[in-house]
A and B are shown apart, each in its own frame.
Chain A
Amino acid sequence: MIILLLSGCVLLLALLLLRSGRRRKKERLQNQAGTPRNNEQHYEQELLRSRLEVQEQALHHVNTEIKDNIGQVLTGVRMKLAALSERIDTKEEADTFSEVVSGMGKSIRDLRNLGHLLDPATIEKIGLLDAVEKELAFVSLIYHLHCTFTYSGQWPELKAEEDLLLFRMIQESVVNVHKHAAATAVNIHICFASGVLSLMIADNGRGMDPELCRDRGYGLQHIEERIRLLNGSLDIITQPGEGTTLVLTCKLKHE
């Protein structure tokens, strides 16, 4: 009898707890519903941020593999080939061999530069400005694009995340220029004044119909995603035959 009474009490308590729990949850939901747009935006930004973080981790992993594994093996193989080539008698074979060895050397260097600039750890260490300079030196070499980079204004203290986002946007833009613009030169300018950072990427390529650039490819989408995380905006100034200029502006919260 007592046991029955006790278990009845427990059951009642559990029910009460359950109901109050539900009510609290409901209230919470109602509170959230009060600012649905903000929450949705916040949620989307967090989702985007963590997606980009995962991407950056993967890039870091790729660079580590290049540095510690693939690059080492390729370099060792290249040295063995170079040693072998010393033992070759005929000129014809020696020429072929030296082509193989120097071709491998070039690929190893390119692979290295690529890995280095993809690695978020590099960007964090050397900062945005030096990273952009290195990237453009690499791009000039690989894509045969003439690149110039200037910046003006008092340079602000940027957070590591901002450095990385800005750098990735520049990287993406330059790849876009290489892929689509048929340009020979690209000019990048960053300026910072009264808390507003503007980044301009201008090429001398074939340009496009401004109507058409609404239909954005992956490259531009990636840039837009990142500028959204910085609460900034992207403008595209372009006309067929007159090159394309991307203008990115964002307000930085700190001085």
Chain B
Amino acid sequence: MSKQSKITIAIADDHTIMRNGLAELIKTLGAYDVVLQARNGRELLELLQTSTQVPDICILDINMPELNGYETTAQLRQLYPAIKVMALSMFDNEFSIVRMLRSGAKGFLHKGADPDELSNALQTLHTEGYFHTELMLINSLRKSNNWQTINITDRETEFLKYCCSDLSYKEIADLMKVSLHTVHGYRDALFLKLRLKSRTALAIYALRTGVVTD
């Protein structure tokens, strides 16, 4: 593969060892070039301003000083709409991942990913424009099925909207003025209807089908 055809990547993370480790791991995959490394969102934006090339993918940590993952993603979407943002999360904390997706991230990667997962995530994000493990699985299982035809009630739709935030189920229950039990009911019904298993997958579903607009 020639240098030009490599997929270019920028990484922003405030933990040096984490950033270096990830860059090294990406290097071993062969098809990628890490072109920028920044300690936080602000530094990344500054580097992009002076850089001659715009990377294909930005991998962003969520908790960063100066400019955090959410704000950086929102600014990147405005300034460089072609860049695909991959949220990098220490652990898959569903609340913050969902908020990153809402801000414009197209996928997420947990820091515990092994080289195969990492490679798959970057490749899929680059070609499909979206990456989420669970959703990928469903997509391949039933590509022909139209999701719009699945019957979702108004309350479930309202619940889906709240899912695309960093609210906990308890907080959603308070906002919808129902018990936590009822909220669990909406969740389980949607899991069953959409054959999904996680809150993050629900949020991606909502964002992709337009139930929730960015």
User: Which residue of chain B is the closest to A73 with respect to CB atoms?
Assistant: B17
Q: A86-117 CB contact bits vs B (8 Å, 1 = yes)?
A: 11000000000000011001001100100010
- B25→A83 contact, CB < 8 A: yes
- A129 at interface, CB cutoff 8 A: yes
- Stretch of A8-16, A74-82, A210-218, A232-240 contacting B (4+ beta carbons < 8 Å): A74-82
- Stretch of A64-72, A164-172, A180-188, A241-249 contacting B (4+ beta carbons < 8 Å): A64-72
- A155 at interface, CB cutoff 8 A: yes
Task: With both chains docked as a complex, state the minimum distance between the C-beta of B92 and any C-beta of chain A, in angstroms.
Answer: 9
- B18→A79 contact, CB < 8 A: yes
In B1-53, the 8 Å CB interface with A consists of: 15-22, 24-25, 27-28
Which residues of A have CB within 8 Å of B27?
Answer: 83
- A72-B15 CB under 8 A given contacts A78-B112, A83-B25: yes
For the complex of A and B, the 5 pairs showing the least CB-CB separation, nearest first, are: A79-B21, A76-B17, A127-B170, A76-B18, A83-B24
Task: With both chains docked as a complex, state the minimum distance between the C-beta of A31 and any C-beta of chain B, in angstroms.
Answer: 43
**Alpha-carbon separation in the docked complex, A131 to B22 (Å):** 32
**Alpha-carbon separation in the docked complex, A108 to B171 (Å):** 28
- A155→B179 contact, CB < 8 A: yes
Which residues of B have CB within 8 Å of A130?
Answer: 168-170, 180
Q: B85-124 CB contact bits vs A (8 Å, 1 = yes)?
A: 0000011000100000000000000011011000000000
Q: What are 6 A-B contacts with C-beta separation under 8 Å? A: A75-B90, A83-B21, A112-B90, A125-B171, A127-B169, A155-B181
Which residues of B have CB within 8 Å of A101?
Answer: 114
| Residue from the set B28, B169, B170, B179 with the largest chain A CB neighbour count within 10 Å | B170
Which residues of B have CB within 8 Å of A86?
Answer: 28, 115
- A82→B114 contact, CB < 8 A: yes
Give me the interface of B with A, judged by CB distance under 8 Å.
15-22, 24-25, 27-28, 63, 90-91, 95, 111-112, 114-115, 168-171, 179-181
**Alpha-carbon separation in the docked complex, A154 to B180 (Å):** 10
Task: With both chains docked as a complex, state the minimum distance between the C-beta of B9 and any C-beta of chain A, in angstroms.
Answer: 14
Knowing that A73-B15, A86-B28, A155-B180 are A-B contacts, what are 5 other residue pairs whose CB atoms are under 8 Å apart, sorted by A's residue number? A79-B22, A80-B20, A83-B21, A87-B28, A127-B169
How many residues from A make CB contacts under 8 Å with B? 29
- B28→A75 contact, CB < 8 A: no
- A58 at interface, CB cutoff 8 A: no
Task: With both chains docked as a complex, state the minimum distance between the C-beta of A117 and any C-beta of chain B, in angstroms.
Answer: 12
Task: With both chains docked as a complex, state the minimum distance between the C-beta of B65 and any C-beta of chain A, in angstroms.
Answer: 11
- B112→A109 contact, CB < 8 A: yes
- A67→B168 contact, CB < 8 A: no
Q: Which of B90, B169, B179 contacts A126 (CB 8 A)?
A: B169
- B24→A75 contact, CB < 8 A: no
Task: With both chains docked as a complex, state the minimum distance between the C-beta of A133 and any C-beta of chain B, in angstroms.
Answer: 9
Which residues of B have CB within 8 Å of A68?
Answer: 63
Which residues of B have CB within 8 Å of A73?
Answer: 15, 17-18
Task: With both chains docked as a complex, state the minimum distance between the C-beta of A185 and any C-beta of chain B, in angstroms.
Answer: 23
